[in-house]
Structure formats: structure tokens, C-alpha cells
Structure 1
Amino acid sequence: MTAEPTAEPGCRWPVPPRDGYTVDDLFTLPDLPPHTELIDGSLVFVSPQRDFHSTMIDLLVMGLRRTAPRHVKVRREMTVVLDRRNGPEPDISVVRAEAVTGREQTRFKASDVLLAVEVVSPDSEARDRDTKPHKYAAAGIPHFWLVETSGAKQQPLVRSYELDPVSKVYASTGTHRDLLKLGVPYDIDIDITADALDEL
């Protein structure tokens, strides 16, 4: 059952339904702010981005697209439907090429996603470190990266994880500074130095 877009007097947003919102609500409620996510049936609004967040996404997207084979596509900030109560929006997703169906597309299924990437922001730190990786793993997304800054100079740092298909838990496959070089989900070689970030 979807939410009725009715609000209490003086309330700007719709009153949540008793059992929480669904993915259908996420795509049909009017006037939601851009990049609204659905986590456990609750709408999550995103704060304005910091420069690191935006430029790090750009750096990784460019690097991922440079080496991407024809059977995958790289997308930024698209909703991934995990189940009827969860529609997070990874900062970057690597998806199967056949999952890209047209310019009006607004979402992907979890089964179409090979890699989900989250760049940590102060307002989303708990979701990026805990909530989302657990949900991505439970949904069967095979690879996950957590991106943050390290040290006083705020150098980029990428932690890579791979899904154990039996336990449905991510296992660490490395911590990457300066160079992000991996063989999964395809051959990846990205300069992630502070200099590379500053050039953008």
C-alpha cells in the first residue's frame, strides 16, 4: 500500500504511512528534494555536498569509465531498489550494460549492480559505514567501496570489499591510497592522489 500525499495542517511533507514508505512512494510522492533515499521505509534527505564529495565522485567515475568493458556501465547517484522498503542512492554504481534501458530511467535493481560506491559525508557517515554496506551485501551486490579522507592533509582513501556469497557479508580486499588498482569487477587502475583530485 502506498502513502496518501496528505499532510497535517502546517506540515510541509506528507504524513508517513503506519508501515513506512515503499519504493513506489519514493518515485511518486510530489516535490521530494533531489537525491532523496529510502532506508527501512523512511525518507532520507541529503545535505548539500562538500567539494571533496563531489570531486571524488568525478575522479572515480572518470577512472571507472576509462577502463570499463562493454558489458558494464558506470552511473552516479541513481536509486538502487534493494526491496520494497529500501531504495538507497549509491554515489556511484557499476551496472550491467543491459540494465540501462533509456534516458528516462530512474532506478536499477540490486541484481543489476556489480559495484556500489559510497563517499562518506559528515551527515551520512553512519549510513555509509554501517547501514548501506549491510543492505547492499544482503541484496547480493558483489563489490562495495567506502571512500573517505585520511590524515591531516585529507588524502583520498578507498576501502574495497567483496561479498562472501554464503554469509552475505563483505570481506575487506584492501585499503588504497594514491593508486586504486583492482582486478574486480574488472581491471581498474585509478590515480587517487590528492594531486589528481586537485586537478579537477
Structure 2
Amino acid sequence: MPQGRAPRRRCLEEAVTADLPDWLTPPRPSGWEADDLDHLPQAPRHTELIDGALISTTAYDPDRTWYAPEDVSLVVEVVSEESADRDRSLKPFKYGQAKTAHFWRVEDEAGAPVVHTYELDSMTSSYVPTGIHRGRLKISVPFPLDIDLDVLVP
């Protein structure tokens, strides 16, 4: 690095995905396409493509090949410039209609991660905010969790 230059600051998405295997990096900025699944020999057996994102689950039963929406209790979206509109409007609506109990949206705020947490109002099938977390994400539902968000981005 040339002397006098500050190290390049990684964006939130780069920091969150930095330790993932190379094969998990989408081949294009718009995300994955159906044909890409044929070229991922390292992908777990239960890998699906949903809205440009690879979703992988570990089945408890080797004969189980899918999960019903009501079996999913939490969805986390990391917002990028390309996905911001979908992540803030369309996806919460779809997850709410699928009755997913909890939804988290991770945003980049001046280079630091901010986690917006929501819980489903079962009467309206829409999400109500339960918190905006900066610095630390400490929650008790859907499970106890305490994460120092500041360590995610150098």
C-alpha cells in the first residue's frame, strides 16, 4: 500500500461475507441464476435459489428435501445497493405472507452495521419493529443472542 494512504474500508456486505468459501460468491453483481446451481459441486445437497440468493439448509431427516414456510422462524437480509428496494419493501411483504415469525434487515450506516429487527403481527401478517440495533445486537427472541456488531467491520 502506498505510504500515506489509509487502508480501504470494506463495505458491510464484504465484511459479513469475507470468511465464506469462494464458491459462495455470486458470479455476477445481480446474484445467482438457476443455471449456476449446476456448476456448484461444493454446495450442500439442500441448496435452493430464492430471489437471487442461495439458501442452504441442513436437513434433520435425510429424506426431507424442503421446509414449509411455517417452519422458518427467522430470515435475515443484508441490504446492498442493488437489493435495497426489494429488501425494504417486497421481501418483508413476502415473508409476512409466508408467516415467517421474525425478519431482520442489516443496513450499512456510515460504514457500520445496523440491524433492524421485526416480529410478525399474526393478525395482519405484517411486521412490527422490535428494535434498531447499533453497536450491539442483544435479543431474547426468537432465541437469545448477543453480538458485538462493531467487530464485523474493521
Query: With structure 1 as the length reference, what TM-score do the two structures score?
Result: 0.50
Count of aligned positions: 118
Letter in 2 for 1:197: L
Q: Indicate which of 131, 144, 154 corresponds to 2:90.
A: 131
Residue 52 of structure 1: CA displacement? Answer: 2.4
Residue 184 of structure 1: CA displacement? Answer: 0.6
Letter in 1 for 2:117: S
Q: Which runs of 5+ in 1 are unaligned?
A: 1-49, 60-77, 81-86
1:50-73 CA-partner distances (Å, limit 9, x unpaired) = 8521432579xxxxxxxxxxxxxx
Residue 162 of structure 1: CA displacement? Answer: 0.2
- Kindly indicate whether the alpha-carbon contact (under 8 Å) linking 1:145 and 1:158 is maintained by their aligned counterparts in 2: yes
Mark the CA change 1:133 to 1:180 in structure 2 (over 3 Å): closer, same or farther.
same
Mark the CA change 1:100 to 1:120 in structure 2 (over 3 Å): closer, same or farther.
farther
Letter in 2 for 1:188: L
- Name the SS of the counterpart of 2:141 in structure 1: coil
- Kindly indicate whether the alpha-carbon contact (under 8 Å) linking 1:143 and 1:185 is maintained by their aligned counterparts in 2: yes
Mark the CA change 1:163 to 1:91 in structure 2 (over 3 Å): closer, same or farther.
farther
| Counterpart check, 1:185 vs 2:142 | yes
Distance in 1 between residues matched to 2:17 and 2:54, nearest whole Å: 7
Tell me what 2:12 maps to: 52
Between the two structures, name the one with larger relative contact order (CA 8 Å, sep ≥ 6).
2
**Ranges of 4+ aligned residues in structure 1 off by more than 4 Å:** 89-93
Query: With structure 2 as the length reference, what TM-score do the two structures score?
Result: 0.64
| Counterpart check, 1:147 vs 2:106 | yes
Mark the CA change 1:184 to 1:79 in structure 2 (over 3 Å): closer, same or farther.
farther
- Kindly indicate whether the alpha-carbon contact (under 8 Å) linking 1:158 and 1:175 is maintained by their aligned counterparts in 2: yes
Tell me what 1:162 maps to: 119
Residue 91 of structure 1: CA displacement? Answer: 7.5
Q: Which runs of 5+ in 2 are unaligned?
A: 1-9, 20-46
Tell me what 1:112 maps to: 71
CA RMSD in angstroms, aligned pairs only:
3.2
